[in-house]
Amino acid sequence: MWSMTEEQSSRHRGRPRDLNIDTRVLEATRDLLEERGFEGTNVQSIAERSGEHASAIYRRWPSRIEIIEEAVFPGFSSVDVRPTGDLRRDLRRFTRAYLSAFGAPAARAAMPGLLATYQSAGRSGAPEAWLPVSARPQFLDILLAAPDDIVDSSVDPNDVYDVILGAILAKTLVPTVIERRRPVERLVDLTIRMLQFAPADLIR
Amino acid sequence: MWSMTEEQSSRHRGRPRDLNIDTRVLEATRDLLEERGFEGTNVQSIAERSGEHASAIYRRWPSRIEIIEEAVFPGFSSVDVRPTGDLRRDLRRFTRAYLSAFGAPAARAAMPGLLATYQSAGRSGAPEAWLPVSARPQFLDILLAAPDDIVDSSVDPNDVYDVILGAILAKTLVPTVIERRRPVERLVDLTIRMLQFAPADLIR
């Protein structure tokens, strides 16, 4: 009975019948983030927008934070770049995909609120959360696929990944950096400079 | 009469008499950011904590945003590193100072809220604000002081600055990066790699 009512309610809203509850909730969340920002995106407003009961939403996600994370970072599947061994080409695809995930309107709207949430979680002694998924493994795979004589093994690729993550945050959240509108290729250049063998003596 | 009352009130709170209103307001703002976060830091709570009238505060700052900016980024005077021409040494001092400005508890508490504010300002068509001060000129000065044969003139130092800014945001706001607790020197290494002449052929 309940599921019939739900179906009728979805049909009523003109949504295709085959969309399941997860899809509807995540779509509604992205819409709300764009329209009302992080503060205006809570389980109540998500329930109203998606036409789902709050109780059904709470059965699937513990809080709005997990819904928002899943809505704006859908498993980083788009960043799942299959490495070819051509370092520049792979990094270019990786950086573009990463930037487009973080630069999407819903992701930009969500990010400051998520950062604030992770910070309070850390402060309150709870384990610090962070995105349920990360592009770090993909980045490491790209480096593994690159020829040995290009990537300097004395550089920790995790350090480079952290810098790229920061650069992408800056490119999507910091007005002075956004306004410079620098091509992605400049970040790829700098990434390669960080990774490749430095001149005989990296200045001390 | 009003100023006498104010003096008495400050004395009452055990603050030194020579602190002026600006100092008291900015101190109160930093305290509130640490204790109550960005949301709990508004003109009302700042007025209560500092013992100043809200009207006196509004005469000096247009909104809480400008107070918070001035409170957590006091002119970047600490980042005002006088370049010596020793690139690694100068970058080390610069990066440490920059990281300590952004990593201070009040600055960390303020940053996600400020980023959200700049984003909404941009969205509403108002000119996007950003920190009233920037460490960019100091960074460029350091590069100008470095020997010509070290810094590759084909690299735009502004691009490198944007990446460092992002790396520092990540090091102060992103849990997975904070947890790695990597030494500042690793970021200095990567900065030098970005800046110095690359091997004959930067891979294409």
Residue B2 lies in a domain: no
Q: Are residues A104 and A197 in the same domain?
A: yes
pLDDT tens-digit map of A26-46? 999 999 999 999 999 999 999
Q: Are residues A43 and A142 in the same domain?
A: no
Task: Give the number of other CB atoms < 10 A from CB of residue A120.
Answer: 13
Burial B94-107 (b: 16+ CB within 10 A, else e): bbbbbbebbebebb
Task: For residue B60, give its domain range.
Answer: 7-71
Q: Are residues A84 and A180 in the same domain?
A: yes
pLDDT tens-digit map of B108-141? 999 999 999 888 776 554 444 555 567 888 899 9
Segment A135-140 shows an average pLDDT of 88
Residue of A202 and A139 predicted with greater confidence: A139
List of chain B residues with pLDDT < 70: 1-19, 74-80, 122-133, 199-204
Give the residue on A whose Cα is nearest the Cα of B90: A204
- What pLDDT shows up at residue B135? 84
- What pLDDT shows up at residue B201? 57
CA distance A132 to chain B (A): 11
The C-alpha atoms of residue A63 and residue A49 are separated, in whole angstroms, by 16
- The enclosing domain of A47 has a CATH number of 1.10.10.60
Q: Are residues A62 and A112 in the same domain?
A: no
Using a CB-CB cut-off of 8 Å, the residues of chain B touching A87 are 203
**Confidence category of residue A119, pLDDT binned at 50, 70, 90:** confident
The C-alpha atoms of residue B92 and residue B187 are separated, in whole angstroms, by 9
Residue A2 lies in a domain: no
Q: Are residues B61 and B83 in the same domain?
A: no
Q: What is the ipTM, given to two decimal places?
A: 0.83
Which of A21, A44, A71 is the last residue in one of the domains? A71
Nearest beta carbon to residue B130 from set A176, A194, A202: A176
Question: Are A198 and B194 within 8 A, CB to CB?
Answer: no
Q: Are residues B17 and B90 in the same domain?
A: no
Residue A1 lies in a domain: no
According to DSSP, residue B196 is labeled B
Which of A38, A71, A104 is the last residue in one of the domains? A71
Q: How many domains does chain A have?
A: 2
**Of chain A residues 54-113, which have a CB less than 8 A from chain B?**
87-88, 108-109, 111-113
pLDDT at A144 over 70: yes
A134 — contact with chain B (CB < 8 Å)?
A: yes
Question: Are A166 and B163 within 8 A, CB to CB?
Answer: yes
- What pLDDT shows up at residue A195? 94
Q: Are residues B78 and B65 in the same domain?
A: no
User: Taking chain A, what is the end-to-end CA distance rounded to the nearest angstrom?
Assistant: 73
**CA angle at A151 for the pair A150 and A157, rounded to the nearest 5°:** 165
Closest CA to B109 of B40, B162, B159, B22: B40
**Confidence category of residue A9, pLDDT binned at 50, 70, 90:** very low
Residue B85 lies in a domain: yes
pTM: 0.84
pLDDT tens-digit map of A173-191? 998 899 899 999 999 999 9
Q: Are residues B132 and B179 in the same domain?
A: yes
Which of B71, B101, B116 is the last residue in one of the domains? B71
